[in-house]
Amino acid sequence: MSEPFPSGSVSPGPVAFVLKGYPRLSETFIAQEIRGLEKRGLDIRIVSLRHPTDKTTHPIHAEIKAPVLYLPEYLGDEAGRVFRGWRRARRLPGYKAAFAAWRRDLARDRTANRIRRFGQACVLAAELPDEIERLHFHFLHTPASVTRYAAIMRGLPWSGSAHAKDIWTSPDWEISEKLTEADWVVTCTASGAAHLRSLAPSQEKVALQYHGLDLSRFSPPTARPVGPDGSDPGTPVTLVSVGRAVAKKGYDDLIDALSSLPDDLAWRLIHIGGGALTNDLAARAAAAGIADRIDWRGAQPQEEVLATLGRADLFVLASKIAGDGDRDGLPNVLMEAQSQRICVIATAVSAIPELISEGETGALVPPGDPPALAATLDRMIRDPARRAAMAEKGEARVRTAFDADHHLDDLATMFGLDPGPDKV
């Protein structure tokens, strides 16, 4: 599924990965990548622009060996550290060039966030261990800016990974300049790759590399009986959705769709995920008269997600393009659900059709269309045999085409590694 990677300068030495926050429950794909590259021999140091806010972590976070450097989240909170970092950074050979680049950016983006990025970059450039040979960002907006300024100051090569919101909400001028200066950028969807290539100085700057799924953590499920059909209130069809309660996940559409289902159709929904809109969505469900059918469980560690999937009959995610342009890339939760042989209903937005074939490996509906979603939910809830057939084909596709181990071998070569047959 991945494409040949562009050639460019590579570095087998230590690499600093610049992340917006670490660890994060919603970014298992990043943790999976870091641990996979560590197993292939890459010496990684993690730089986080924010301290963690999740109360728990996934098991994979405990396996990651990389030490973590937390930069000042807000410059005023650690003013002394920022001042010392700036004093050291301004003596670096690339400081003047970095400052000039930042001034050009600030002229086009006069925001406090732009100022904070440069301050964080000064601290990073000052405190980065001398043995680091490359900087690598995850997300093309803030982390890439901090990476870029610090790399210029230190005279280091840099590269990165782009995902979803960062691709579609960053201004074209900024994306174009970052793609021009970076060695290479990988992204996890064909639609994202096409957009980035349209802004890049050459097609070879951007490579498509799916995250895939670490199938060793998602072993095949045991055989399960054919599920309920929604006719018995004592055995309702269990719907599960995993995702943050934010606009692009379309939970308002899902609630509207569920509220329009026939009253005699037996179902219950379990939602897993944090997010600022949780209370609003719960109130929406209450107003629609379906609050007693929805269990809002908040953010959960991966083992709890897996346990919940193991009891699910149907997985649903109603992603859409938010008002600010934010959208999903290819949500890992869809692959996780399919790996557990669960039928998936999703929307035909962004890269989701790259995973799901309508009517074969799952069901696709138009984004932002609650009536269409309701019709599909009604049909799939009532037809357990069809759910089972789609679930089987969906699992087969994930396990053959979205194996993270294969895609990580490709990414390892970008860092100058020979993945080899033995991964420690």
Query: Of 108, 79, 93, which Cα lies nearest the Cα of 174?
Result: 108
- Answer whether residue 392 shows pLDDT above 50: yes
- The mean predicted confidence, pLDDT, of the chain is 92
Q: 69 CB contacts (<8 Å, ≥6 apart)?
A: 16, 45, 46, 47, 48, 124, 127
pLDDT of res. 6: 46
Q: How far apart are CA 159 and CA 72, in angstroms?
A: 22
Q: 309 CB contacts (<8 Å, ≥6 apart)?
A: 240, 315, 336, 337, 340, 342
Q: How far apart are CA 115 and CA 252, in angstroms?
A: 35
Q: 26 CB contacts (<8 Å, ≥6 apart)?
A: 244, 273, 274, 299
**pLDDT tens per residue across span 67-84:** 999 999 999 999 999 999
- Return the axis-axis angle of helices 251-259 and 278-287, rounded to nearest 10°: 10
**pLDDT tens per residue across span 228-262:** 999 999 999 999 999 999 999 999 999 999 999 99
Q: What is the pTM of this model?
A: 0.77
- Answer whether residue 7 shows pLDDT above 70: no
Q: Which residue spans of the chain are classified as CATH 3.40.50.2000?
A: 15-212+403-414, 237-401
- Answer whether residue 225 shows pLDDT above 70: yes
pLDDT of res. 419: 61
CATH code of the domain made up of 15-212+403-414? 3.40.50.2000
- Answer whether residue 3 shows pLDDT above 80: no
Q: How far apart are CA 116 and CA 146, in angstroms?
A: 9
Instruction: Please tell me the total number of residues recorded for the chain in this structure.
Output: 424
Burial status of residue 169 (CB atoms within 10 A of its CB: 0-12, 13-18, 19 or more): middle
In order of 31, 50, 164, 244, 415, the CA distances from 24 in angstroms are 9, 10, 16, 12, 24
Query: Of 217, 243, 275, which Cα lies nearest the Cα of 58?
Result: 217
Beta bridge partners of 208: 187
Confidence category of residue 423, pLDDT binned at 50, 70, 90: low
> Which carries the bigger pLDDT value, residue 377 or residue 218?
377
**pLDDT tens per residue across span 300-324:** 988 899 999 999 999 999 999 999 9
Sign of the dihedral defined by the CA atoms of residues 218, 219, 220, 225, in that order: negative
pLDDT of res. 183: 97
Listed range (3-7, 59-63, 350-354, 383-387) with the worst mean pLDDT: 3-7
- Answer whether residue 201 shows pLDDT above 50: yes
Domain 237-401: CATH superfamily is: Glycogen Phosphorylase B; (3.40.50.2000)
In order of 82, 143, 293, 331, 351, the CA distances from 325 in angstroms are 33, 19, 31, 17, 15
Q: What is the DSSP secondary-structure string of 101-120? A: HHHHHHHH---HHHHHHHHH
